[in-house]
Structure 1
Amino acid sequence: MTLEVFDIESLDLDARGVARRDGKVVFVDGALPGEKVLARIVRQKASYDTARLERLIKPSSQRVEPGCPHFGMCGGCAMQHLDAAAQVAIKQRVLEDSLGHIGKVSPATVLPPLHGPTWGYRYRARLSVRAVRKKGAVLVGFRERRGSYVADIKTCRVLPPHVSNMLLPLRALVGAFTQPDRIPQIEVAVGDQTTVLLLRHMEPLSENDIALIREFGDKHNVTWWLQPKGPETVHPLDRADVDKLAYTLPEFGLRMPYRPTDFTQVNQAINRVMISKALALLDVQSDDRVADLFCGLGNFTLPLATQANSVVGIEGSAALTERALEAARQHGLEQRTSFATLNLFEVDVQWLRDLGRFDRILIDPPREGAEAVARALAALNASERPKRIVYVSCSPGTLARDAGILVHEGGYQLLSAGVINMFPHTGHVESIAVFEAE
């Protein structure tokens, strides 16, 4: 297809430049806002076209040299060519636009963005594995950008250096297995005392395979977990390692044990900052009764319990609530915490009333958001409403929808909102919003 010149207006969440041609949107891979580019149309759809950048005519002042040699081919990152501060500004605009267009709300105050490390931050990762028989090689890494193949990466700057340094040794390890083509993935979880590698193997490992991974573990200070079939089969290679994995929250004197398949935040440094900020925004008082909805392992519940009179944590996974309760016991917080397992996507106002009145509520849902919870809160009478709600979100769209419900149907005021740069160099937008009963 022919080459054309485009003026780039903005950036979408896949980090594609957005231009317009005769009123039709054109997404240009690799282009940045404010740039004039020469690009080739590679796909045409009824509502939009996609194009590939061929040449910069007028580059953006915010364009930088990517920090990783594999950027553009590897799908792990999308924004390394954009200055880190500019990445955050774009995410802030996405949040504000979503709140305005979807929820028809606007925060009274825009919070300063929460920053953390931009490199070496990814303490959780799922690495794809592929044995390429024709080349006699094994690839270990992320999928290619806009492709299904495993990218041929030798290093990764968003992984902690010690994990990045294992990428090539892992290739050699899998290549030496009895059946290397039956290993689809390796999950990484970096804790405070150990790094766990969870090996998915579709056929039983041989004695030689086991000996190889033990040798690798000793050399690289790795704890191995295995997954021969479904998630329920996940187990440590050595039973003594079952409780080794944990992350710390030093500000609150907490150590949070977890399993390598449990949900935890990818970026541990920014997680600590986020918890501190969320609790400050919630303005918890010592006599408050607080609810932590979608509580997971108790990431917010236990810190809240160090400040509030009592905290109720509710989560859809029984395994997570059991681990949260055990962590509360280990820290002497069991008298101030209680946990329940419940599908929070199907709750109503009567359920909320039956729990009793809460002074403050923290909500930290998955990407689907918390629509049922928002509608339950909106249906409360003025005397029943919690004074303040802090909502931590990983999806601006569902946050905006739920914010609209709380404001327009529940009479809450959106005091403030801002982004959390949990995933630098990606289009992922984490955010936090504060609501107050009027």
Structure 2
Amino acid sequence: MSRRRRKPLPQEPMRCEIVALSHDGRGIARNNGKTGFVDGALPGETVMAKVVSTRSKFDELRTLEVLAPVAERQTPPCEYADLCGGCSLQHMDGDAQIRFKENTLREHFAHFGGIEPEHWEPPLRSEASLGYRRKARLGVRYVKARESVLVGFREKRNSFLADIDHCAVLDPRIGERIRPLRDLLHGLEAYDRIAQVEVACGDDVAVMVFRNLDPLSDCDRDKLIAFGQAHDLHIYLQPKGPDTVHRIWPASDGPASERLSYRQPAFDLTFQYHPMDFTQVNAGLNRDMVARAVDWLDPQPDERVLDLFCGLGNFTLPLARKAGQVVGVEGDDAMVVRGRENAALNGIDNVAFHGADLHGDFTGQAWAREGFDKILIDPPRSGAEEVCRYLTAFGARRIVYVSCNPATLARDAGVMVQNGYRLVRAGVMDMFPHTTHVESIALFERADA
């Protein structure tokens, strides 16, 4: 049986009137009754665009020329904005980006939860829109036809790596070293056996973790060490899984020495973490986010507070500065250990960290039986629908929910309201400027409180 041939894509550019913006930041146009999603276009604009993919119900297009720009359009701060998929909103000014994210959260609340907060809070803005990103996973690929190595993020809407020499949104300790990193990898004997480079930056130290598919020669190790010395970077290798990550420069004095750190001056706290641990990518915004969460929760010296999905204690320890007792709960045992280490580091003794499966009913656990006055929850992108069904068992008067996915926040907010809570406040936080990622925060109070 012969396969049906795909219809060739139209070669002539198409004139598009952009009527709206999709949740992934693309302009929406209607052409002959068919929807088009147009990269690089903003609502109210008229653009000439090229069809790059077609489906039965919609086309995907890329802007070639803006015929009638809107005031919100700006010149992208990065020369690779049209190619690299790391950012998708660089052509939109900062105020418009924030409005887009606020509208996204509003629409999700209306669509999934059928609710709206009593008060919309002003957005938390990032103190820097460039050079803010402290963690990333950079792809590495040897391109045989070009006899060169590419390092960076994927191109927009395909699996190819973008050909870049620097990155404007990465911490400059990393972003300004993409070209030297490419040259380094090209000069290795294992030039085609490095799969990726994880990068992590603390307040004082920046790290590169090289995922080497095969053992490296002494010559290659020496080149990596020399690169770290020349660029003031700590160098790690990951020969297999995450548990095999180890530092080769500077020489390691054991696991305790392989730590980065960041500070929370407002709470007189220092956090230490392993380069592969989860931390927030935007240090400045994280400081403001934690301050807002603690302010909204308003813990008192006589109260017990629960912090779910607590990680290394990013919210737990600031809460412990205010509350009588704080319990941090996390599904990753390694992060439970990290939380305890950070509590000890900061001399905090009114906090306890526990590991638990947060996808089931945990209300019978020993640490949960005394109940809690207030709760903070910071789940992954999948949200915490099941958790929200159990929270009423604790009788908490106030709950703060920090979210990295407006769709699951809206869904879970509906569960909370059904279980006797009011959605009092909500707002967005610009954790990832120039991207469509929407970080948000919501405050719930018990309806009978």
Partner residue in 2 for 1:359: 373
Given candidates 319, 323, 336, the residue that maps to 2:338 is 323
Q: Does 1:126 align with 2:137?
A: yes
Q: Does 1:146 align with 2:157?
A: yes
SS at match of 2:110: helix
SS at match of 2:347: coil
- Give the whole-Å Cα distance in 2 for the aligned partners of 1:415 and 1:360: 15
TM-score (norm 1): 0.95
Structure 1 consecutive aligned stretches of length 4 or more whose deviation exceeds 6 Å: none
Q: Shift of residue 103 of structure 1?
A: 0.6
* Per-residue deviation, residues 396-424 of structure 1 (Å, max 9, x unmatched): 000000000001x2111100100000000
Partner residue in 1 for 2:420: 411
Partner residue in 2 for 1:425: 434
- Give the whole-Å Cα distance in 2 for the aligned partners of 1:100 and 1:356: 35
Which consecutive unaligned segments of at least 5 residues does structure 2 have? 1-9
- Give the whole-Å Cα distance in 2 for the aligned partners of 1:11 and 1:338: 45
Q: Residue 4 and residue 178 in structure 1: after superposition, are their counterparts in 2 closer, same or farther (change >3 A)?
A: closer
Contact preservation (8 Å) 1:194, 1:244: no
Contact preservation (8 Å) 1:193, 1:244: no
Partner residue in 1 for 2:5: none
- Give the whole-Å Cα distance in 1 for the aligned partners of 2:92 and 2:119: 26
* Worse-matched range after superposition: 412-421 or 154-163: 154-163
Partner residue in 1 for 2:83: 73
Q: Does 1:239 align with 2:252?
A: yes
* Worse-matched range after superposition: 343-352 or 314-323: 343-352
Given candidates 270, 285, 289, the residue that maps to 2:300 is 285
* Per-residue deviation, residues 126-157 of structure 1 (Å, max 9, x unmatched): 11111223322221111111121111101111
The code of the aligned residue for 2:220 comes to D
* Worse-matched range after superposition: 20-29 or 122-131: 20-29
Q: Does 1:370 align with 2:417?
A: no
Q: Shift of residue 354 of structure 1?
A: 4.4
Given candidates 222, 238, 252, the residue that maps to 2:233 is 222
The code of the aligned residue for 2:270 comes to R
Q: Shift of residue 9 of structure 1?
A: 2.1
- Give the whole-Å Cα distance in 1 for the aligned partners of 2:186 and 2:367: 58
What root-mean-square deviation, in Å, do the aligned CA atoms of Structure 1 and Structure 2 show? Answer: 1.7
- Give the whole-Å Cα distance in 1 for the aligned partners of 2:48 and 2:379: 42
TM-score (norm 2): 0.93
Q: Shift of residue 48 of structure 1?
A: 2.3
Identity of aligned residues (%): 46
* Per-residue deviation, residues 300-341 of structure 1 (Å, max 9, x unmatched): 0011111100100000100001010011011111x2111111
Q: Shift of residue 63 of structure 1?
A: 0.4
Q: How many residue pairs were aligned?
A: 432
Q: Shift of residue 257 of structure 1?
A: 0.8
- After TM superposition, list the pairs within 5 Å mapping 1:28-427 onto structure 2: 28-116=38-126, 117-237=128-248, 238-240=251-253, 242-333=257-348, 335-347=349-361, 350=364, 354-378=368-392, 380=393, 384-407=394-417, 409-427=418-436
Contact preservation (8 Å) 1:15, 1:78: yes
* Worse-matched range after superposition: 98-107 or 143-152: 143-152
SS at match of 2:77: coil
- Give the whole-Å Cα distance in 2 for the aligned partners of 1:54 and 1:244: 46
Contact preservation (8 Å) 2:307, 2:327: yes
